[in-house]
């Protein structure tokens, strides 16, 4: 048998590797569990005492009493504990390798989903706070930044693709105010240098996208012979105009929030969630009338001048005015305490338990376009759950188990003290495939590690 690793061998090896990876991802994404006797906070169907939740193949199969599971299904005794939907963070930067592509006021062509870091320990720490999904966002350096990625916290799975929530709508980051002004106007001497310049970035970009769309439509109709030049940035902006991408916009001041809604209205764009939106309480009726949602801090402000005018009543005022509101973290530390942040709205605004918990479950799911799958405990939804030892709005509540798609990814009592994922320094690398490729691929012929690095060392000694 020919010992060389020929082209067909390579193809078969790559296909086999891909199938194994796909199978591993599938196994990591679904599981079977029976949670017995807990107080189940459904969000949409009230609170159910002494109730079981049956999970089959990563989905909620039944909710009721005295449920039975098939042999081999793990049973979790939740007696005296509280079961609620997994917490969702609508504004996060964990689990990604890069945040800002700050090289141009418009970078709609980039996507943080292409740089997911499965080794980020912040994902595990988020699980320890009951967070099962986060919206990994591009930063606020650009007026129109990059595309974001909704991720499930499947910590321990090494395939970056496995973190992406399949089927979640596309989202993109916009930014108002100081950040794009500082990065581009003050830093590079280009538009935008003022808040009115930020508006013109939006208007000129959308206008260019309309022309780009029209040129492609004319070509497809046969009205022109030559296809327009393909431009990924313009493609993305065109998809925003077509309602295929949800905008999530960094914002603080009420005047700028109104400005962007006017711009979007002029271009027929309806889907937007304002992030931070510290002065949202000033324009709550206008946000509700537009159909915009708001993702806010509970009580963060005054860290720079444009967020000085804020209030801890913001979330409650927005909620009472009919704005779909969530509370986010924007922090790899605060993400562990979102249930505490939600509880603050009971002190500042008097929200009831359901209203407060919706801020970190169903409402962020709505803002991300995934509420048909997560955000509440309902039959058929993804089994993303967290079990607390006390009511989750209590200051004494501590997450005990966090479950994603029916798989326990955080277990307070049984996880190792150090959950970092690291390459094993003792692992032996199998060189047999390399040795067989080397006989067919001569691009590094006669070059060995010893020869190459030895020559580099020689050159450094002799100033070459």
Q: Cβ–Cβ contacts within 10 Å for residue 281, how many? A: 23
Which pairs with CB-CB distance under 8 Å and at least 24 residues apart come from 189-197?
Answer: 190/105, 191/105, 192/105, 192/143, 195/256, 195/259
**pLDDT tens string 72-83:** 999 999 999 999
**pLDDT tens string 257-315:** 999 999 999 999 999 999 999 999 999 999 999 999 999 999 999 999 999 999 999 99
Instruction: Return the H-helix or E-strand segment holding 322.
Output: none
User: DSSP string covering 144-191, please?
Assistant: EEEE-EEEE--TT---GGGGB-TTPPEEEEEE-THHHIIIIIIHHS-S
Give the span between the Cα atoms of 324 and 358, in whole angstroms. 9
Q: Would you place residue 435 in the very low, low, confident or very high pLDDT band (cuts 50, 70, 90)?
A: low
Q: Would you place residue 64 in the very low, low, confident or very high pLDDT band (cuts 50, 70, 90)?
A: very high
Terminal CA-to-CA distance of the chain, rounded, Å? 47
Give the span between the Cα atoms of 340 and 343, in whole angstroms. 5
Q: What mean pLDDT is reported for the chain? A: 90
**pLDDT tens string 65-104:** 999 999 999 999 999 999 999 999 999 999 999 999 999 9
Q: Cβ–Cβ contacts within 10 Å for residue 148, how many? A: 26
Query: Which residues are within 8 A (CB) of 137 and not within 5 positions of it... i.e. 6 or more apart?
Result: 91, 92, 93, 99, 112, 148, 171, 173, 248, 275
Say what the pLDDT of residue 460 is.
Answer: 46
User: DSSP string covering 359-384, please?
Assistant: TTTHHHHHHTT-TTTSSS--TTSB--
Residue 461 clears pLDDT 70, i.e. is over it:
no
Say what the pLDDT of residue 29 is.
Answer: 65
Say what the pLDDT of residue 430 is.
Answer: 65
What class, spelled out in words, does domain 87-372 have in CATH? alpha beta
Q: Would you place residue 425 in the very low, low, confident or very high pLDDT band (cuts 50, 70, 90)?
A: low
Residue 247 clears pLDDT 70, i.e. is over it:
yes
9, exposed or middle or buried, with CB in 10 Å at 0-12, 13-18, 19+?
A: middle
CATH 3.20.20.140 segments of the chain: 87-372
The length of the chain is 464
Buried b (16+ CB within 10 A) or exposed e, 212-241: bbebbeeeeeeeeeeebeeeebbebbbbbb
């Amino acid at each position: 048998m020919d010992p060389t690793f020929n082209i067909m061998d390579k193809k078969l090896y790559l296909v086999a590797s891909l199938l194994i990876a796909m199978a591993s991802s599938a196994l990591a994404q679904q599981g079977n569990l029976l949670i017995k006797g807990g107080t189940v906070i459904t969000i949409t169907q009230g609170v159910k005492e002494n109730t079981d939740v049956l999970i089959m193949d990563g989905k909620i199969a039944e909710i009721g009493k005295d449920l039975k599971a098939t042999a081999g299904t793990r049973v979790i005794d939740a007696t005296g504990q509280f079961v609620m939907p997994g917490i969702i963070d609508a504004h996060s930067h964990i689990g990604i390798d890069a945040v800002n592509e700050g090289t141009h006021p418009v970078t709609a062509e980039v996507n943080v989903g292409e740089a997911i870091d499965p080794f980020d320990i912040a994902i595990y720490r988020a699980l320890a706070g009951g967070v099962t999904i986060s919206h990994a966002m591009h930063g606020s350096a650009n007026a129109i930044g990059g595309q974001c990625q909704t991720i499930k916290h499947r910590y321990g799975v090494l395939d970056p693709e496995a973190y992406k929530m399949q089927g979640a709508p596309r989202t993109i980051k916009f930014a108002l105010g100081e950040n794009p002004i500082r990065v581009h106007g003050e830093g590079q001497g280009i538009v935008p240098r003022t808040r009115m310049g930020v508006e013109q970035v939006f208007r000129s970009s959308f206008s260019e996208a309309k022309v780009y769309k029209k040129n492609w439509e004319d070509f497809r109709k046969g009205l022109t012979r030559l296809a327009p030049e393909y431009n990924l940035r313009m493609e993305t902006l065109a998809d925003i105009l077509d309602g295929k991408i949800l905008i999530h916009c960094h914002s603080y001041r009420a005047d700028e929030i109104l400005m962007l809604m006017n711009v979007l209205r002029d271009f027929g764009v309806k889907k937007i969630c304002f992030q931070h939106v510290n002065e949202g309480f000033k324009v709550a009726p206008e946000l509700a009338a537009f159909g915009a949602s708001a993702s806010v801090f509970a009580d963060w402000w005054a860290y720079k001048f444009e967020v000085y005018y804020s209030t801890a009543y913001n979330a409650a005022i927005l909620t009472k005015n009919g704005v779909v509101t969530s509370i986010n973290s924007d922090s790899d530390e605060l993400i562990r305490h979102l249930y505490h942040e939600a509880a603050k709205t009971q002190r500042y605004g008097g929200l009831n338990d359901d209203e407060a918990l919706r801020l970190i479950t169903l409402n962020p799911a709505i803002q991300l376009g995934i509420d048909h799958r997560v955000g509440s405990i309902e039959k058929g939804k993804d089994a993303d759950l967290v079990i607390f030892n006390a009511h989750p709005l209590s200051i004494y509540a501590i997450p005990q188990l966090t479950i994603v798609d029916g798989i326990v990814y955080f277990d307070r009592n049984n996880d190792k003290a150090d959950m970092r994922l690291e390459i094993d320094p003792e692992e032996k690398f199998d060189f047999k495939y390399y040795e067989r490729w080397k006989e067919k691929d001569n691009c590094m012929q006669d070059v060995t590690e010893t020869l190459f690095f030895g020559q580099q060392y020689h050159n450094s000694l002799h100033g070459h």
